Copies of this chain bind each other. A is one copy, B any other.
Amino acid sequence: MSGNIEIRTIVGNRNINTVTDTPVTDPASSSKGLEGSNAFVCQRSKLVRYTSSCTGSSSEDDDVSPREKVQKNSAGISDFCVRNINQHAFGRREIEIAEQEMPGIMALRKRAADDKPLKNAKIVGCTHINAQTAVLIETLAALGASLRWTACNIYSTQNEVAAALAEAGYPVFAWRGETEEDFWWCIDKCVNAENWQPNMILDDGGDATHLMLKKYPAMFKLIKGIVEESVTGVHRLYQLSKGGKLTVPAMNVNDSVTKTKYDNLYSCRESIIDSLKRSTDVMFGGKQVVICGYGEVGKGCSQALKGFGCVVYVTEIDPICALQASMDGHRVVKLNEVVRNVDIVITATGNKNVVSREHMDKMKNGCIVCNMGHSNTEIDVNSLRTPDLTWEKVRSQVDHVIWPDGKRIILLAEGRLVNLSCSSLPSFVVSITSATQALALIELFNAPVGRYKSDVYLLPKKMDEYVASLHLPTFDAHLTELTDEQAKYMGLNKAGPFKPNYYRY
């Protein structure tokens, strides 16, 4: 670990409509980071439970650090570092299942396999490592890339999958439960390999970018492009750009249309229901719910809950979104006006202290409180940690907070993202994101000189459309093609893009 690199513990889930409340910028924040990452731990524990129930044993508790072990895969190669290479078979099976649920990225693999659009690309990857990202990794390889991979989170690695990747010959450096030092060591192992000069970075949170820029500035200058998918990483790229330190083109895939709709509207519309059911078994019919924030996430939640017979109230600061809520049939209120009567409170604002202690003092017995927004600051959970209130953990991710008069509110995931903590992210959503990442890599790697400068770009509309088109066969959806005459009339290329950049969808 180089002394001039900030030591940080990485906060989980940066890549899924998530942003840490305060960008982590100094070592002191590491413990906070650890706390914040509990959300992901919970999710992982669920996966691990599933895993262990099938394999019978887990080497999670293995005492020896992977860095001290000597392991080789079947081909005799040892350029990797995982928990236990012997778990590869189960990991492979997980990958195979994921392949079936990720039609878009698999279609891309198939269509582009002959072209090898990533031939000669040398990619440093730093993402979560699980069955779904493995499908992305193997797709990039199938498209011609050579790559080295590490984890963007010390808790999120699915060890069996890492083993399967290592067995398949990929230089993977990641395991669940890394120390902070391990974390940076792994990135370093990816970046700094003998006889291997990387020319692309696929980052999720900005740490690989950060390390290379700081520790290997010469190497960094030879990079052709960076693809970043997290809010945090994008934020850091824009700051680099503003500071004049970004010397290569970077692509912000976080804000592409297709990905955004899936991460927010479509995914949340299902996961709010799933999260509430799994954690509380609540019956929705007839319940009164207030949703704070009517952005894409709030819209998704409202639609789903209204569909189940809830009476939905919305709070908003933006009059345009408030008018949308009205036109969608929801009463727009101030939280104070309804907080005594509602059965469920959901935050989706990206703001802080939207639900305050004062609000929670007024809630009725049994009220469920949870957060679907960006960060764990929306509900002022800290205000509940006072001596007069009793906390009772009734199951994983579910706390009863009990007032002196016996009133209980049901707090989910301690105010962290409830859909990440209490439900699963469908592989289909990950397929959208992965295809977006792969296309961004292809675009940056193959772009003629001059198309991209040292700046942060959005995915070109045409590629955004292509990601969507890759996923249409799943729905047996048949696109209509413009005739020549129609294309001319509309002033469009028959292959797209079909909309101006400002189009709102």
A residues whose Cβ falls under 8 Å from a Cβ of B: 50, 53-54, 97, 100-101, 255, 257-258, 260-261, 266-267, 269-270, 273-274, 277-278, 281-288, 296, 304, 306-311, 315-335, 337, 341, 350-354, 365-366, 377, 394-396, 408, 423-424, 426-429, 464-466, 468-469, 471-472, 474-483, 485-486, 489-490, 496, 498-499, 501-502, 504-505
Contact = CB atoms under 8 A, between A and B. Distances in A.
B490 A269 contact: no
A332 B477 contact: yes
A317 B479 contact: yes
A307 B320 CA distance: 21
A178 to B, nearest CB: 26
Contacts of A329: 285-286, 306, 308-311
8 contacts: A100-B408, A270-B277, A270-B283, A296-B504, A304-B308, A317-B481, A319-B466, A322-B477
B475 A351 contact: no
Most chain B CB within 10 A, of A54, A310, A317, A482, is at: A317
B270 A323 contact: no
A476 B274 contact: no
Nearest to A312: B329
A451 to B, nearest CB: 21
Given A277-B278, A351-B482, 5 more contacts: A277-B277, A286-B326, A316-B479, A323-B468, A502-B502
B428 A288 contact: no
Contacts of A324: 261, 505
Nearest to A325: B477
Nearest to A283: B426
Contacts of A341: 476
Nearest to A489: B352
Contact of A53 (B97, B351, B395): B395
A320 B468 contact: yes
Contacts of A286: 323, 326-327, 329, 474-475, 477
A432 B29 CA distance: 48
Contacts of A331: 311, 476-477
Contacts of A469: 319, 322
Nearest to A395: B50
A37 B378 CA distance: 45
A259 to B, nearest CB: 11
A394 B471 contact: no
A350 B500 CA distance: 14
Given A304-B308, A320-B258, A322-B472, A353 B464 contact: no
B335 A480 contact: yes
Contact of A281 (B287, B335, B424, B466): B424
A350 B498 CA distance: 12
B318 A351 contact: no
Contacts of A468: 319-320, 322-323
Contacts of A423: 277
Contact of A323 (B320, B330, B472): B472
A478 B353 contact: no
Given A304-B308, A308-B304, A424-B281, A323 B480 contact: no
A331 B342 CA distance: 12
A337 B53 contact: no
Nearest to A477: B332
A394 B54 contact: yes
A395 to B, nearest CB: 6
Given A365-B100, A476-B341, A285 B266 contact: yes
A440 to B, nearest CB: 16
A282 B424 CA distance: 10
A476 B337 contact: no
